[in-house]
Amino acid sequence: MSSRYRHGLIHYVGDGVGVRGREEWTLTAAEDGTRTLRAHCRMFDTDIERDVVHTASAGFRPLRSFISHRVGGAFLGEGWFVFGEDTLESELLLKDEGRVSQRVPLAGPPPYFVPHAVCCDAWIVPAYDLEAGGPQRFTGGFRSSPRPNGASGPYADELADLTVTLVGEETITVPAGTFPTRHFLLTSDGGAEEHLWTSTDGDWLLIRLRSDRLSSSYELVELRETR
């Protein structure tokens, strides 16, 4: 039985346009430390809709992930991803390609997987060594699409050039309240930068994300906990 439930809402806020999307998520934390994020994401301006169920270990290593999405009301694709010690396996159903299976050999368990629910982006950074600090290059991680809005696939794509830097610990205020956070800088895709603020309570919740290349900020606007 899961021991703890948390529920949140994230707004996607575009520069000069206001709320351009929303994401409702639920976190279940089991007694063995395994955590699962379930998210429903909608982008009003691009008409993308996505459902994600993403499970990570007690150490926030990805275990399993399911993604299904539509664009303009039409089915785009869905896939189930399983992360082992030395193999990433996926079974996909894609609009154009039909049924596809992936078998990707791994050097070790991936440190993260990005299924393009914004709440799951916060689970990239638990692999960061807080004691060492400084810029750290993350290798062996994957994402479900190379597009910033995730509007392709899904298909396991290795993100080879991600660098994560802890900027510092900051207390910030978002519509959901005031939170102590860790502020990280994520640099990828040839220099694209994103700023990420995560909770310090052990769940690594996304409190705020800033993406200049998408001209958008992503903010936690509601947070509830039930047992």
Q: What is the H or E stretch that residue 119 is in?
A: helix 118-121
Rounded to whole angstroms, how far apart are CA atoms 127 and 123?
8
The pLDDT tens digits of the residues spanning 78-94 come to: 999 999 989 999 999 99
Rounded to whole angstroms, how far apart are CA atoms 198 and 32?
22
- pTM, rounded to two decimals: 0.93
Cβ neighbors of 154 (< 8 A, separation 6 or more) are 67, 69, 77, 78, 79, 81, 92, 115, 116, 144, 145
Query: Strand locations in 31-86, DSSP E?
Result: 35-43, 48-56, 62-71, 74-83
Q: What percent of the chain has pLDDT over 70?
A: 99
Tokens 């596809």 belong to which residue? 100
- Residue 131: give its domain's CATH number: 2.50.20
The pLDDT tens digits of the residues spanning 145-204 come to: 888 788 888 999 998 889 999 999 999 999 999 999 999 999 987 778 999 999 999 999
The pLDDT tens digits of the residues spanning 89-126 come to: 999 999 999 999 999 999 889 999 999 999 999 999 99
Q: Which domain holds residue 41?
A: 2-226
**Number of domains within the chain:** 1
User: 189 vs 8, which has greater pLDDT?
Assistant: 8
Burial label for 142, CB within 10 Å (0-12, 13-18, 19+), is buried
Rounded to whole angstroms, how far apart are CA atoms 37 and 81?
15
Rounded to whole angstroms, how far apart are CA atoms 126 and 196?
12
Q: Among 28-37, 39-48, 149-158, whose mean pLDDT is lowest?
A: 149-158
How many CA atoms are closer than 13 Å to the CA of 196, on its beta-carbon side? 26
Q: Is the separation of the CB atoms in 52 and 116 below 8 Å?
A: yes
CA angle 16, 214, 184 (to 5 degrees): 110
